[in-house]
A and B are shown apart, each in its own frame.
Chain A
């Protein structure tokens, strides 16, 4: 019921708020990205708990990744991940050709340098969701041409 527009605006405000209170510089940029990623992490943890309350147990890692790509992504971004690739050794690449948080920004190369700020929250979201499903991971994102982007998930074997 809370509209997508509301979440989008809140997310953009969060990004600009975090950056406004920081100074210039590489170190600060990293700190802001970390802040946003941590916020996404907490949200991802909470969200996945609510969402998987009644679902069946997952068979294996791949099953979990497919859940993230289909049900989780649909709930959060109203569409599925367009492409999931894996090397079957713990690395997954999730490709979204029209990432909802970037569609309003540009379609092409404009503002490419700012894209990472708007992906940090979502990386945390994925990491948090996986964490509460028992998977420790590192999630990074890359954009070569908006609004398509790729999230790379590296499973950490304990």
Chain B
């Protein structure tokens, strides 16, 4: 009986390792294809954006979360529901700006970098930049234009990984041309 239980948690861990390893292979391939780190960062952000615009639908279908009334609620949902659902971690929310339009997500451990070390010649590579793109893409689909960027990264020697999220504006629905 206990062997069965072991298998269950093991397979959960394995599927998260599948994602981690696949992401690693992707970043490695991108580093080979593009000569400089800036291009890789841009490409990761773009890919993340494409994933985000689709992931939000999956998220809303699974989580049954209603519309968020303000940015604080959005932050809570991102950290406590979304990150938990997809990456199995719950980042903490800190450093709210006085206007309430910027906050930081602190990730104690980032599952994407589980087996990763950054070599010296890639010091400006933002390894987990896909996450920024995902956040940006997903929130754009719920009418929020945001900017997400890494300000601390355990791969670069910091103690935690910190993503700074900034609310830019609410995206109004554009009526198709010709309709009033």
Q: Is A47 in contact with B19, judged by CB distance below 8 angstroms?
A: no
Q: Is A1 in contact with B87, judged by CB distance below 8 angstroms?
A: yes
Which residues from A are CB-within-8-Å of B58?
3, 5, 9
Interface residues of A (CB under 8 A from B): 1-7, 9-11, 13-14, 16-18, 21, 35, 38-40, 42-43, 46-47, 50-51, 74-76, 78
Q: Is A10 in contact with B51, judged by CB distance below 8 angstroms?
A: yes
Binds A, one of B10-18, B93-101, B151-159: B10-18
Q: Is B86 in contact with A3, judged by CB distance below 8 angstroms?
A: yes
Interface residues of B (CB under 8 A from A): 11-26, 28-29, 33, 43, 47, 50-51, 54-55, 58, 85-88, 111, 115, 130
Which residues from A are CB-within-8-Å of B43?
17
Q: How far is the CA of A47 from the CA of B54 in the complex (A)?
A: 26
- Knowing A5-B55, A9-B54, A13-B50, say if A46 contacts B115 (CB, 8 Å): yes
Cβ-closest 7 pairs across A and B: A1-B88, A2-B19, A2-B16, A39-B25, A43-B21, A5-B58, A75-B14
Residue from the list B12, B28, B29, B115 in contact with A1, Cβ < 8 A: B12
* B17–chain A nearest beta-carbon distance, Å: 6
Q: Is B25 in contact with A42, judged by CB distance below 8 angstroms?
A: yes
Residue from the list B12, B21, B111 in contact with A47, Cβ < 8 A: B21
Which residues from A are CB-within-8-Å of B16?
1-2
- Closest A residue to B43 using CB positions: A17
Q: How far is the CA of A35 from the CA of B33 in the complex (A)?
A: 11
Q: How far is the CA of A74 from the CA of B11 in the complex (A)?
A: 8
Which residues from A are CB-within-8-Å of B20?
2
Q: Is B26 in contact with A7, judged by CB distance below 8 angstroms?
A: no
Which residues from B are CB-within-8-Å of A38?
29
Residue from the list B15, B55, B87 in contact with A75, Cβ < 8 A: B15
* B155–chain A nearest beta-carbon distance, Å: 18
Q: Is B17 in contact with A47, judged by CB distance below 8 angstroms?
A: yes
Which residues from A are CB-within-8-Å of B21?
42-43, 46-47
* B23–chain A nearest beta-carbon distance, Å: 7
Residue from the list A2, A9, A18 in contact with B15, Cβ < 8 A: A2
Which residues from B are CB-within-8-Å of A17?
43, 47
* A2–chain B nearest beta-carbon distance, Å: 4
Q: Is A6 in contact with B55, judged by CB distance below 8 angstroms?
A: yes
Q: Is A3 in contact with B85, judged by CB distance below 8 angstroms?
A: yes
Q: How far is the CA of A9 from the CA of B49 in the complex (A)?
A: 11
Q: Is B15 in contact with A43, judged by CB distance below 8 angstroms?
A: no
* A50–chain B nearest beta-carbon distance, Å: 6
Q: Is B22 in contact with A39, judged by CB distance below 8 angstroms?
A: yes
- Closest A residue to B130 using CB positions: A10
* A61–chain B nearest beta-carbon distance, Å: 23
* A31–chain B nearest beta-carbon distance, Å: 11
Q: List 10 A-B contacts (CB under 8 A).
A: A1-B86, A3-B86, A5-B55, A9-B51, A13-B47, A17-B47, A21-B33, A42-B24, A43-B25, A50-B17
